[in-house]
Amino acid sequence: MNDPARPLRDLSCADDYDPNSMPVAKAREVIARFLSPVTVTERLAVRAGLGRVLAENVVSPLNVPAHDNSAMDGYAVRFSDLKPGGEVALKVAGTAFAGAPYQGALKPGECVRIMTGGVVPQGADTIVMQEHVKAGKDQVTIGTGHKKGQNLRRAGEDLAAGQVALKRGIELRPAEIGLVASLGIGEVTVYRKLRVAFFSTGDELVSIGTQPREGQIFDSNRYTIHGMLTRLGCDVIDMGVVRDDPELLERAFGQAAGAADVVITSGGVSVGEADFVKDLLNKLGEVVFWKIAMKPGRPLAYGKVGGAHFFGLPGNPVSVMVTFYQFVRDALLVLAGRDPVPPLPTFKVPCMSSLKKAPGRTEFQRGVLSQDASGAWSVRVTGEQGSGILRSMSEANCFIILPTGQGNVDAGTLVDVQVMDGIV
Ligand code: AMP
Ligand code: MG
């Protein structure tokens, strides 16, 4: 039965839905169905907009360039004065510098000395480069081989007044900030930042500053999650470590969902741990628990807790980063208003290591992309690939993505790599 209040639950009616063997692409597609972007916007001074998502098209109020102007240092001439078969001498009537136009119109037999960016004087229609003239005292001699309209930038050629200069949904990078400024626009309308609350779960975890007892470990996931969220431009709410205790977890989920658009946890979703978390989350909202056909990162929980989107990531430190980049990143960008969401850059290179891989799941091995002396790129795997080995992420600069059907990989085979620099 379809229950409009519980849309995720209706998934179980779909023929190809198997929560115990979710293909990566299917999980992404399901998540994407439930995302609606923030709608609140704010006006910011253009420089403060760096890294933010544009919430309204920027329409050019003017022609860029504003006037026909010269692309070269040279002479503005009337093309009809030039002789197709020989030389012609033209009187230099004056100068047109960038910012200081020639006053008046060009008469037949005249030219104007013009510099790059100078406004093309009335009557002139062609620019002859200074290297192509013989300059005398008050006149220049011009030969053959010129085309009408050459070396001239037309008014409105880059952008016409009224044209959309920047589209809603893009991230404002330095180029866009400069472009807005070039139009004389001082403020931009951007979406408010996404608020993301996160906490780690696990009785074994201690935070920096506490001496771990035997069997305890330092919490690292909160630090990688903090870093990844910050790089994506989110406002972050770090809620610390929460013990595996239903009451404490319920309180933490309640607080997180009340304060944020998105709640992210790590740990507590693997077999054995998931049962009481499952009961708790189904009480607080609607959450599905998946075993994704991938390595690392098999267990993943997704849904809504209160009004917030929820991602329950696995506990292992590498699994956290991989699932964040394969599922959470795109979702956060959609929620933040990015449209379209640019895919992570992925391309094929030869793999210099032989890789062990069982068919039936997508693998995200950690790789090092490098260039040889001839400039050709290839990838090798970082050493051990265990999902608890965070060092493998630190040594890597890319994921080597091995698709579901793939078996072992022989050295020299082309593989897909996804570069991490700037994304992880
Ligand atoms: P779990 O999914 O909670 O069973 O955790 C799987 C593994 O990840 C266990 O070895 C945990 O100790 C480890 N782990 C869980 N959370 C963290 C964390 N925040 N930082 C480092 N390791 C963690
Ligand atoms: Mg745990």
Whether the CB of 216 sits within 6 Å of ligand 1: no
Question: Counting ligands in written order, which one lies closest to the CA of residue 216?
Answer: 1
Q: 10 Å Cβ neighbour count for 293? A: 19
Determine the pLDDT at residue 263: 98
For residue 314, give the ligand 1 atom closest to its CA: 2
| Per-residue confidence (pLDDT) for residue 325, from 0 to 100 | 95
The reply to whether ligand 1 has any atom less than 6 angstroms from the CB of 200 is yes
Q: What is the mean pLDDT of each run of 10 residues along the chain (424 residues)?
A: 69 86 95 95 98 98 96 97 96 95 96 97 97 95 97 96 98 98 97 98 95 97 97 97 95 98 95 85 93 96 96 97 97 98 94 96 97 97 92 96 97 97 72
224 CB near ligand 1 (under 6 Å): no
Ligand 1 in contact with 315 (CB < 6 A)? yes
CB 352 within 8 A of CB 358: no
User: Would you say the CB of residue 285 lies under 6 angstroms from ligand 1?
Assistant: no
Q: How far is the CA of 217 from the centre of ligand 1 (A)?
A: 9
The CB of 74 under 6 Å from ligand 1? The reply is: no
Give me the pLDDT at residue 330, please. 96
**Residue 30: left if φ>0, alpha if ψ -120 to 50, beta else—which one?**
alpha
The pLDDT value recorded for residue 13 is 82
Q: Out of 273, 275, 316, give the residue to mutate to test ligand 1, the one with the largest number of ligand atoms within 8 Å of its CB.
A: 316
Q: 205 in ligand 1 pocket by Cβ < 6 Å?
A: yes
Is ligand 1 within 6 A of the CB of residue 323? no
Q: Quick one: what percent of the chain has pLDDT higher than 70?
A: 99
Residue to substitute in 221, 324, 393 for testing ligand 1 pocket (most ligand atoms within 8 angstroms of CB): 221
What's the pLDDT score for residue 302? Answer: 96
What separation in Å is there between the alpha carbon of 267 and the centre of ligand 1? 5
Q: What is the pLDDT of residue 271?
A: 83
